[in-house]
């Protein structure tokens, strides 16, 4: 897996492999050193700092979005179905604290996850994910000197479908940040809600977390679910969820996985939970 640094020789701007996948007129990720490219990075950083998330609507073209929806539908039978309770920390219930405490209270997550090794090599989002330009752009927005694409054969890039009654319960991510791409909103529900900076590195803020779990909407924000939206958010400190889906149309999105160290992979337990296996399927 090659590294993707922020300091590299200029790339060939003539015909990136992902042309037609990204709206390069609005989002020139192939030319970050241009005036427009620098302005885009500044805007993203400012929004992320102010809102705790940054949603770039129309980042992925309608044609590429339609292509990913078609792939998700075609691969539906390959999805690993999960439906399980968990705490917001994805840890065992703590029996030493009151039942209403965030470490004792459980929420539900139910979804259909399509692993990376099922996604065709020429799928629009896989082509984009495997480009160094996107990695450099994400690193620049997050102010990281270097980022690496995940080396996990299942989790590097996945497709998630939420069917009626399915949801993603409130939780914090273990990773510092998360990147998502939206393809299709649900007919009803399926909203991405988040509470920015709900905890810090030194304070779990249990009382504030408990308020959200009990239904307090005062700090809850909504992230755009428009098709083609690329979104950044600080998932380790922002508690977030996908509300229960209703209606006939499923919610479809992808999560793009990056890290600050090379050769990043899921541990076996997490891999079994989300994909039902720990290694790539036989070629």
Interval 2-61: pLDDT, tens: 444 444 444 454 579 999 999 999 999 999 999 999 999 999 999 999 999 999 999 999
CATH class of this structure's domain 22-275:
mainly beta
User: What is the arithmetic mean of pLDDT over 97-109?
Assistant: 97
Mean pLDDT of 243-263: 95
Residue 273: which pLDDT band, with cuts at 50, 70 and 90?
Answer: confident
Does residue 1 register a pLDDT over 70?
no
Q: Per-domain residue ranges for the chain?
A: 22-275
Contact 235, 177 (CB under 8 A): yes
Task: With beta carbons less than 8 A apart as the criterion, state whether 30 and 11 touch.
Answer: yes
**Pick from 122, 123, 155, 149: nearest CA to 136:** 149
**Position 206 pLDDT exceeds 50:** yes
Per-residue pLDDT, averaged over 132-145, amounts to 98
In terms of Cα–Cα distance, which of 189, 198, 199, 196 is closest to 168?
189
Name the pLDDT band for 276 (thresholds 50, 70, 90): confident
Q: Provide the token pair at 81.
A: 């179905």
Residue 175 main-chain phi, psi, to 5 deg: -80, 155
C-alpha closest to that of 29 among 138, 123, 121, 130 = 138
More confident position, 253 or 276:
253
Mean pLDDT of the chain: 93
The predicted structure's pLDDT at residue 9? 44
* Strands, E assignment, the chain: 4-5, 53-56, 80-86, 107-114, 146-149, 157-162, 168-171, 178-184, 188-189, 192-195, 221-223, 230-233, 239-242, 245-246, 251-256, 258-259
pLDDT at res. 7: 42
The pLDDT assigned to 270 comes to 79
Task: Give residue 14's pLDDT.
Answer: 56
Average the pLDDT over 61-89 and give the result.
Answer: 96
Over range 111-136, report the average pLDDT. Answer: 97
Residue 282 clears pLDDT 90, i.e. is over it? no
> 20-36: string of b/e by CB count within 10 Å (b at 16+)?
ebbbbeebbbbbbeeee
């Amino acid at each position: 897996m090659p590294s993707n640094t922020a300091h590299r020789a200029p790339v060939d701007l003539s015909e990136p492999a992902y042309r037609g996948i990204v709206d390069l007129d609005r989002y020139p990720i192939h030319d970050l050193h241009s005036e427009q490219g620098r302005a885009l990075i500044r805007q993203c950083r400012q929004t992320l700092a102010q809102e705790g998330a940054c949603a770039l609507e129309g980042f992925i073209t309608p044609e590429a979005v339609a292509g990913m929806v078609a792939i998700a539908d075609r691969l539906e039978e390959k999805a690993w179905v999960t439906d399980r309770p968990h705490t917001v920390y994805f840890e065992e219930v703590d029996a030493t604290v009151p039942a209403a405490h965030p470490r004792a209270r459980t929420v539900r997550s139910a979804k259909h996850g399509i692993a990376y090794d099922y996604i065709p090599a020429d799928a629009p989002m896989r082509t984009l994910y495997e480009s160094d330009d996107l990695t450099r752009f994400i690193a620049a927005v997050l102010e990281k000197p270097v980022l690496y694409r995940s080396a996990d054969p299942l989790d590097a890039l996945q497709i998630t479908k939420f069917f009626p009654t399915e949801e993603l319960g409130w939780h914090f991510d273990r990773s510092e940040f998360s990147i998502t791409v939206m393809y299709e909103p649900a007919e009803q529900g399926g909203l991405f809600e988040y509470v920015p900076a709900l905890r810090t590195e030194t304070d779990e803020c249990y009382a504030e977390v408990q308020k959200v779990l009990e239904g307090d909407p005062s700090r809850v924000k909504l992230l755009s679910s428009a098709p083609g939206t690329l979104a950044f958010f600080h998932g380790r400190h922002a508690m977030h969820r996908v509300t229960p889906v209703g209606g006939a149309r499923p919610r479809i999105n992808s999560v793009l996985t990056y890290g600050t160290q090379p050769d990043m992979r899921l541990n076996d337990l997490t891999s079994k939970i989300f994909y039902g296996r720990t290694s790539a399927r036989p070629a």
